[in-house]
Chain A
Amino acid sequence: GNSVTQMEGPVTLSEEAFLTINCTYTATGYPSLFWYVQYPGEGLQLLLKATKADDKGSNKGFEATYRKETTSFHLEKGSVQVSDSAVYFCAFRGNSGYSTLTFGKGTMLLVSP
């Protein structure tokens, strides 16, 4: 069935380090792909998205490229900040009708000064 797999956390980095959080999906057709971020005590916020193969979503220095051939949507940032500490969720949504979001389990990122 449809699913999202993301790397387990926590991911612990020092400020200004390079970040990669891996995400792969299993789905039929051509889903839309998303990264959501949840800061402590808050709800989820959309970070970036891509709706077709080879699209690159970007926001706040984060990037992810929709790779159809590897069914992946890895999240990257060149230089993390302490304020990036949060839980990051990869998700996809099918493109037929009112398809619902399927989320990964989330990856906690902890950035130390």
Chain B
Amino acid sequence: NAGVTQTPKFQVLKTGQSMTLQCAQDMNHEYMSWYRQDPGMGLRLIHYSVGAGITDQGEVPNGYNVSRSTTEDFPLRLLSAAPSQTSVYFCASSRDGRETQYFGPGTRLLVL
């Protein structure tokens, strides 16, 4: 099993550009989530999904969209990037919302 994979590892965007951060897991996990990690802030939940076709907002959802068309994939979309979205983004999955979450290696995003 590859576990949780994320692409790209690093991305530079200009303000106003759009992009999609990819996340995939091969463990047949129902629960997937996106976090951002900022210095001194720990990890904050952006969006999560409890299964295909079901998503919900976390603590800091503004500026981000998600969809969950398959169990395996949970992409995070930035429609119009802003410098405040410069961060490290982590995707995580678990069998259900009560089990241990497994994290991907992260995507480092710089918005100029």
Contact = CB atoms under 8 A, between A and B. Distances in A.
A105 B41 contact: yes
B24 interface: no
Interface string A55-86: 00000000000000000000000000000000
Main secondary structure of the interface of B (DSSP, over half): strand
Contacts of B104: 43
B101 A101 contact: yes
Given A43-B90, A43-B105, A45-B103, A100 B42 contact: no
A44 B103 contact: yes
B98 A49 contact: no
Contacts of A32: 98
Interface in A90-113: 93, 95, 97-101, 103-106
Interface in B16-59: 31, 33, 35, 40-45, 48, 50, 58
B75 interface: no
B102 to A, nearest CB: 8
A34 B46 CA distance: 20
A25 interface: no
